[in-house]
Amino acid sequence: MLLDILNITLPVLLMLGIGSTLYVLKIHFDSKTIGILIIKIATPCLTFSTLTKTDFTLSELSLSAIAAIMVMGLVAAFSLPLIKLNGDRLGAYMSCLLHPNSGNLPLPLCLLAFGEEGLALAFPYFVIISVSQNTFGYAMIAGNLKWKEFFFHPIVISVASAFVVKITDLSVPSMLLNTTSYLGYMAIPLPLLLLGYALPQISTGNIKIGIVYAIARLVFGGFSGLCVIYVLGLTGMLAGVVMIMASMPVALLNFIIAAEQNVESDNIGGIVIVSSLAMIFLIPLLVWFVLWAFPV
């Protein structure tokens, strides 16, 4: 068991460490360009190629998406009293608690823990969080919703295309499948390097707020994940994937949007860095729990 945990967690921690080392050594890493490459090319390609190659049925994949929606609903119910009690800005802090890191950390963890099948099951969950954050999450922080970005988001297009292929049982040309697969391979190491590079740059802001909301995100997310697994009767690999996805720290994108809109950026930066650092240390425990509680 210990060797399995190390095989899963060490590659993730090493890639995060390499990203942070690049920053410390002042080696330029164009975060904006890399971020666009990940969001608009690598991840959509990996989503399409993985979903079209997987043997899972649409109903099985849909369970992952349903679980994401249910987890978000429970997290929102738990978060509302906390935010109101603290007297903080509802939209900005609710977005932080609703939208965890759904790509940089959990996708590599699901791949390493369960292989390509686990990665395929993680994508519907990832899509729900990613699309919600890039549309509703942006609106919650900035105060305006851009519907065009919702319908034309690359992730939405890639998932819709993959579902059409599976529903119609179309044969995807090998040239297209190979191209999307090769481009998609970038979506595993690059986000980890980017996150590692970004961590030393984020201001801790108000450390007290960072600790409170970081703990809330990890506790609310993990507990909501367990509740949804029980309610839906999930077992094995799918249960493990949902638990990993639900337990992630606050997404870096929340800070990027907050900085762009000049909305509580120092405090949200503190939440991101505290929750991310906490999860880095908690990854071995999370992996152990998932492998123990939801054996495949």
Q: Summarize pLDDT for 11-66 with one digit per residue, the tens.
A: 878 888 898 899 899 888 776 777 778 778 888 888 888 778 777 777 777 899 99
CATH at 19: 1.20.1530.20
CA distances from 37 to 98, 145, 168, 280, 296 (A): 25, 24, 30, 24, 34
pTM above 0.75? yes
Q: Summarize pLDDT for 139-160 with one digit per residue, the tens.
A: 888 776 666 666 677 877 888 8
* Token couple for 209: 């707020």
Q: What's the number of domains the chain is made of?
A: 1
Q: What count of other Cβ atoms lies within 10 Å of the Cβ of residue 241? A: 31
User: What is the extent of the structural domain holding 214?
Assistant: 2-293
* Token couple for 287: 């992996």
Categorize the per-residue pLDDT at 137 as very low, low, confident or very high, splitting at 50, 70 and 90: confident
Residue with tokens 């099985």: 60
Per-residue model confidence (pLDDT) at position 77:
96
Give, rounded to a whole angstrom, the gap between the first and last alpha carbons of the chain.
14
Q: Summarize pLDDT for 202-247 with one digit per residue, the tens.
A: 666 667 788 899 999 999 999 999 999 999 999 999 999 999 999 9
Judge contact between 247 and 225, C-beta under 8 A. Answer: yes
Residue with tokens 């899963």: 8
For helices 265-293 and 90-98, the axis angle rounded to 10 degrees is 30
